[in-house]
Amino acid sequence: MNTKRKASLWTKLYSAVLILFTAFVLLDTFVIPRAYVVEPDGGAAGDSGQTASAAVSADSNGSTASSIAAVVSENSYSDDNISIKITTYREYDTDIYVADITLSDASYLKTAFAENTYGRNITEKTSEIASENSAILAVNGDFYGAQNSGYVIRNGKIYRDTVSDASQEDLVIYEDGSFEIVTEGSVTAEELLAKGAMQVLSFGPGLVENGEISVSPGEEVGKAKASNPRTAIGIIDDLHYVLVVSDGRTSESAGLSLSELAEFMQGLGVTTAYNLDGGGSSTMVFNGAVINNPTTNGKQISERSVSDIVCIAYQS
């Protein structure tokens, strides 16, 4: 075998190995599921030791269900601890769905993982995660599984403490139900937990702080389009919250820019509001039904599978 043929063979072999390695990295990053922590008793319950103050009873299957009598309609839910009213707005040529929520205790504001598992590439539809955790209301969360860094604290437990970016804005939901927007470069996950953080969501940016809009016109998330389906969470007063989802990318709904979303949230009276994962992920589920029109490209209305949800639920 002459030198040129040897060189050509090694070049082909190197190229094949490089292609295989690249394919594995892509599969490992975006496809291959990796479970790091499984929550045996359900993701929404967590291990914070808190239980709903409502009376609960176990059914014959061993699951836990609230024994409180609730008044439920197509767009509302009310019992002694939880009040939810769903209103649809039409603004910015877009349908926007608002869940106005009042709680007797912050412990009913929860998060949950797909398959009740923290890991990579572990996803389910928002409606599926909601059902598994007996959520009355749920929206998609921050899709932590699409990132390799950024704080992840759920139901009072640290799952990831690596900084995404020093300027990354996170939403902290404390044990008393209050909200704070922090940057990951200013505080560690351990310090947040010590201060009483129950949930830390890492997507952003913050939309409203101290009642004032905190995003500028034209500001966007990464390479996101100017108008998108959106998901956001806000606090109006003590234990009074809103979860907001907008449609977008369809002929019926154009979608919202971040500044439009911030203006809308401010108009609801929030003091703090935060942008969650949007686009095809944006989904709101109420009493087991998807009430918005989730879509990735506007050609098909269907749910995208995501890593996690924010929800209102009793202990599951």
pLDDT digits (tens, 9 = 90+) for 37-49: 777 655 554 443 3
Indicate the pTM of the whole model.
0.83
Report the C-alpha gap between 69 and 78 in whole angstroms.
9
Q: What is the pLDDT of residues 160-177, one digit of tens each?
A: 999 999 999 999 999 999
SS3 assignment, position 102:
strand
List the structure tokens of 145. 């599984």
The percentage of the chain sitting over the pLDDT mark of 70, rounded to a whole number, equals: 78
Average pLDDT estimate for 10-14: 66
Average pLDDT estimate for 87-105: 98
pLDDT value of residue 216: 85
Report the C-alpha gap between 182 and 5 in whole angstroms.
60
Q: What is the pLDDT of residues 140-152, one digit of tens each?
A: 999 999 999 999 9
Give yes or no for a contact between 189 and 251, defined as CB atoms under 8 angstroms apart. Answer: no
Q: What is the pLDDT of residues 202-250, one digit of tens each?
A: 999 999 999 999 998 877 765 455 789 999 999 999 999 999 999 999 9
> What number of other Cβ atoms are within 10 A of residue 31's Cβ?
9
Average pLDDT estimate for 43-66: 38
Instruction: Indicate the range of 53-62, 90-99, 117-126, 185-194 predicted with least confidence.
Output: 53-62
Report the C-alpha gap between 249 and 299 in whole angstroms.
9
pLDDT value of residue 119: 95
Amino acid code (one letter) for 39:
E
Average pLDDT, the chain: 86
What confidence category does residue 188 fall into, taking pLDDT thresholds of 50, 70 and 90? very high
pLDDT value of residue 275: 98
Rg (CA), the chain: 21
What confidence category does residue 31 fall into, taking pLDDT thresholds of 50, 70 and 90? low
What confidence category does residue 52 fall into, taking pLDDT thresholds of 50, 70 and 90? very low
Is beta strand 157-160 parallel, antiparallel or unpaired with respect to 152-154? antiparallel
Instruction: Indicate the range of 42-56, 62-76, 129-143, 197-211 predicted with least confidence.
Output: 42-56
DSSP 304: P
Q: For the chain, what's the residue count?
A: 316
Amino acid code (one letter) for 246:
S
DSSP 228: B
pLDDT value of residue 68: 75
